[in-house]
Every structure is written in C-alpha cells, then in structure tokens.
Chain A
Amino acid sequence: GESVGLHLPTLSVQEGDNSIINCAYSNSASDYFIWYKQESGKGPQFIIDIRSNMDKRQGQRVTVLLNKTVKHLSLQIAATQPGDSAVYFCAEYSPSTGTASKLTFGTGTRLQVTL
C-alpha cells in the first residue's frame, strides 16, 4: 500500500536544504501533537511529538514548533536528504474518557527531495 494517490500539497526541496512543513490544528484541548512520516508502500511512522505546554522540541535533524495562539504546528527538517521524501502527517492526541486514545490526523504534505 502507498499514499501516492492522495491529493496532497507538495513541498519540493533540494537535497541539503532545510524543509519546513506546516500544519494547522483545530482542537485547543489536544494534549500532544505528533508528526508521522509515511513512505511509499509503508504505514505511517512516528517521528516526534510535542506536549501542548511546550513551544519547541528538537530531535535528530528535526524540530517541531508549536504556536498555540494561532493553532499552528510545524516540522523543520535540517539538511534534507533523499530518504526524507515521504508524506508527512501532523496529528493531534486527545484522550477520551481518560481510558482510550484517539489520534486525529491532518491531511498530509508530500515532501519531494530533488538532487
């Protein structure tokens, strides 16, 4: 299975440049915001998360920024590599009734890395 058929916005970036993928969310009550990466033929893969009381979190080559004022989330990828080519989804996590979890995914952005 792959997501190549999805009608998604596309970000084209040259290898070595930095990528910024943006996401708008809707639920102010979400506890966590998460980025997933979906490569062609694979299921989504967890990349990084940020708690709602933070505004920045860094991982390996990735940084997530959270702006709660405008309900905006971004994923920055440093020194983008061909292996970063994928569809990136932001997701909101809102626990329901305290015993179950629910992830709500955004529509996704396709990142194309050009050589």
Chain B
Amino acid sequence: DSGVTQTPKHLITATGQRVTLRCSPRSGDLSVYWYQQSLDQGLQFLIQYYNGEERAKGNILERFSAQQFPDLHSELNLSSLELGDSALYFCASSVSTASYEQYFGPGTRLTVT
C-alpha cells in the first residue's frame, strides 16, 4: 500500500458528461501528480501541484482541469468526455516539488460509453 488513495475505483459515464476524480496524497507529501494510462499512449503525465499551486503541465487537454486543496487532496475534473478519454487515471505524490520517487495510488478506471 503506497499510502495514496483514489476514489472512485471505477467510473462509467456517457460521452459529453463531466466527472471528478479524487486523490489524497501520502501523509506529509506536498506534491500531487496526475497521470493517464491508456492502451495506445502508455503512462502520460498530465499535471503537477505542489502545496496548492500548479507546478508543471504535461499533455493535459483543455477539457481537463485539476486543483489541490488546502488539505492537500487533489481533484481532476474531466469534462465533455469523449470515448477516447477512457483510461486509467493515476494520482501520485511526493514530498518535494522535484522528486522522481513518486508514490502512486491504485488508479481510477474511467469508461466512457
């Protein structure tokens, strides 16, 4: 168990809808990262937050947004969902803003129908 929790575990929704994925980092970790793992793209970095502030952006679509709250939990919002958004979404955390040793949660499997 990495100490990172993600909810929900599974999510099934229709195209055009909006969903929110939630992540709680390990105790003491200030950085939260979001990744998307799909069949054809592998594990892709989406965005990073550190202590409430956005620190780095990867291949995140404009339809997607995220935030980190004062209690350090983070939410990833996906809107106007398309079939191609079906994937596993992982959250990871680390102590500092510059760390490659990241602790991953169990992921949320999103299925868009």
A residues at B contact (CB < 8 Å): 1-3, 5-7, 32, 34, 41-46, 49, 89, 91, 93, 95-96, 98-108
State the main secondary structure of chain B at its contact with A. Answer: strand
How many chain B residues touch the partner (CB < 8 A)?
34
Interface contact A103-B45, CB-CB below 8 Å: yes
Interface contact B39-A105, CB-CB below 8 Å: no
A34 touching B100 in the complex, CB below 8 Å, given contacts A1-B106, A108-B42 = yes
Interface contact B50-A7, CB-CB below 8 Å: no
A104 touching B98 in the complex, CB below 8 Å, given contacts A43-B2, A43-B4, A43-B107 = no
Q: A1-B37, A6-B39 given; name 18 further pairs at CB < 8 Å.
A: A1-B108, A6-B37, A7-B39, A45-B2, A91-B100, A95-B98, A98-B98, A99-B97, A100-B56, A101-B31, A101-B56, A101-B94, A101-B100, A102-B58, A103-B100, A105-B43, A105-B44, A105-B45
> How many inter-chain residue pairs (CB < 8 Å) link A and B?
84
Smallest CB separation, B4 vs chain A (Å): 7
A8 nearest CB neighbor, chain B only: B42
Give the interface centre of A1, A34, A100 by most chain B CB atoms within 10 Å: A1
A33–B110 Cα distance when bound, in Å, is 30
Give the chain A neighbours of B105 by CB distance below 8 A.
Answer: 43
A49–B99 Cα distance when bound, in Å, is 12
Give the chain A neighbours of B99 by CB distance below 8 A.
Answer: 101
Interface contact B107-A5, CB-CB below 8 Å: no
A32 touching B37 in the complex, CB below 8 Å, given contacts A43-B2, A106-B42 = no
Interface contact A101-B39, CB-CB below 8 Å: no
A31 nearest CB neighbor, chain B only: B100
A1 touching B56 in the complex, CB below 8 Å, given contacts A99-B98, A100-B50, A103-B45 = no
B40 nearest CB neighbor, chain A only: A7
Interface contact A49-B101, CB-CB below 8 Å: yes
State whether the Cβ of B48 lies closer than 8 Å to any Cβ in chain A. Answer: yes
5 tightest A-B CB contacts, nearest first:
A43-B104, A1-B107, A100-B56, A93-B100, A100-B55
